[in-house]
Amino acid sequence: MVVSDNGTELTSNAILKWQEDRKVECHNIVLCKPKQTGFVESVNSRMRYERLNEHRCDNLRLARKLVSAWCDDWNHHRLLSSLAGLTPREDA
């Protein structure tokens, strides 16, 4: 899933075709809901800081592997105070 802030970055015909060809779901955050933008930006910056900045990704395969490992750690092992000490998976 790709989450967007309703900007113009993900509206080109090439991007729309890429999403359709790969069956990637696109979700736009609700207009006038700045907390949603903040959440997405927070997760993106944490992933970049904790995983991607530590490695030089010369190819998409490595980047996908690093992001997948980070997502697995985040969802299954990271205890979040906002979820009363549960992991996101436990809270789902």
What tens digit of pLDDT does each residue of 18-77 get?
888 988 888 777 777 767 777 777 888 888 888 888 888 888 899 889 999 999 998 999
Residue 47 CB partners (closer than 8 Å, separation 6+): 67, 70, 71, 74
Two structure tokens written together for 64: 């996908």
Domain around 19: 2-32
For the ranges 2-11, 13-22, 68-77, the lowest mean pLDDT is seen at 2-11
Domain assignment present for 91: no
Scanning the chain, the segments in alpha helix (DSSP H) are 13-22, 34-50, 60-76, 88-91
The count of residues in the chain is: 92
Domain assignment present for 20: yes
Two structure tokens written together for 84: 């009363």
Dist CA 26 CA 16 (whole Å): 9
Domain assignment present for 90: no
Q: What is the pTM of this model?
A: 0.57
Residue 69: predicted pLDDT: 93
Domain assignment present for 60: yes
Residue 12: predicted pLDDT: 80
Domain assignment present for 6: yes
Handedness of CA 18, 1, 49, 51 (dihedral sign): negative
Tally of domains within the chain: 2
Residue 34: predicted pLDDT: 65
Domain assignment present for 92: no
Looking at the fold, whether 44 and 61 belong to one and the same domain comes out as: yes
